[in-house]
């Protein structure tokens, strides 16, 4: 456990997790690497996730962790995360990152994809009153160790509750409810308003605040506790 690979190609997610893990593990923790930090990173194959009825956050996290542990020969920490909106029956869920295209990868850049996903979500919620726009970010993490075969040894989960704000045309002049808003974060962060009495969106949080409150931060800290307990047993 001298090194852990964050098994994602999303540089913003790597940056977030590296900061969270460094704070939780302290100076004696393992070196935290992103896939891009590894020699031969261009030749790594992204494991195929399930973006249909077979899919779940935990199942996809396990697929990614095992797939990258097999390819890198290193402990790999993968997460699958997304947004669940209650009035949409839990959608977008496991297809959060490709919601606008029904879970299909179409070659858009991350920025283009985020914009399209956010527009579709607000369209799908058109006319839904604020009290029925409750939602949460969910993150499930899986740690896989290399071996023959590689296997998942730990999992953790975190949630970040809030509500989806309103487009300006539906906000009735209440500027504190208007979304998208904020320059930080990524994905649906500009749409999710923090629980009352807060009026900020996830994209308006400072990095250290987001790391403390977010679904990913909670899942990562729970994972660090479980890693510590596992190592103590050994």
Q: How far apart are CA 114 and CA 82, in angstroms?
A: 12
Burial of 109 (0-12, 13-18, 19+ CB in 10 A): exposed
Torsional sign, CA 78, 62, 67, 52: negative
**Which of 80, 124, 189, 196 is an active site residue?**
80
Element (H, E) at 112: helix 110-124
* Contact indicator for 141, 77 with CB cutoff of 8 Å: yes
DSSP 45-73: -PPPP--STT--HHHHHHHHHHHHHHHHS
Angle between helices 215-233 and 11-25 (to 10 degrees): 50
Q: Specify whether 80 is catalytic.
A: yes
Q: 3-state DSSP call for residue 23? A: helix
Q: In angstroms, what CA-CA distances link 74 with 3, 44, 159, 209, 225? A: 7, 13, 27, 30, 20
Q: How far apart are CA 215 and CA 86, in angstroms?
A: 17
Active site residues: 80
């Amino acid at each position: 456990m001298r090194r852990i690979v964050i098994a994602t190609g999303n540089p913003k997610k790597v940056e977030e997790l590296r900061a969270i893990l460094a704070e939780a593990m302290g100076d004696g923790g393992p070196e935290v690497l992103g896939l891009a930090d590894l020699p031969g990173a261009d030749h790594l194959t992204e494991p195929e996730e399930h973006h249909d009825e077979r899919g779940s956050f935990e199942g996809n996290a396990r697929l990614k962790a095992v797939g990258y542990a097999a390819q890198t020969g290193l402990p790999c920490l993968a997460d699958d995360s997304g947004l669940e909106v209650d009035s949409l029956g839990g959608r977008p869920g496991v297809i959060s990152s490709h919601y606008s295209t029904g879970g299909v990868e179409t070659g858009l850049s991350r920025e283009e994809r985020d914009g399209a996903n956010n527009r579709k979500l607000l369209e799908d919620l058109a006319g839904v009153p604020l009290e029925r726009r409750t939602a949460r970010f969910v993150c499930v993490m899986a740690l896989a160790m290399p071996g023959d075969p590689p296997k998942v040894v730990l999992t953790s989960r975190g949630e970040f509750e809030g509500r989806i704000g309103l487009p300006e045309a539906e906000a009735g002049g209440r500027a504190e409810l208007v979304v998208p808003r904020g320059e930080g974060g990524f994905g649906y962060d500009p749409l999710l308003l923090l629980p009352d009495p807060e009026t900020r969106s996830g994209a308006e949080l400072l990095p250290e605040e987001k790391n403390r409150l977010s679904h990913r931060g909670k899942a990562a800290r729970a994972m660090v506790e479980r890693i510590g307990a596992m190592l103590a047993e050994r």
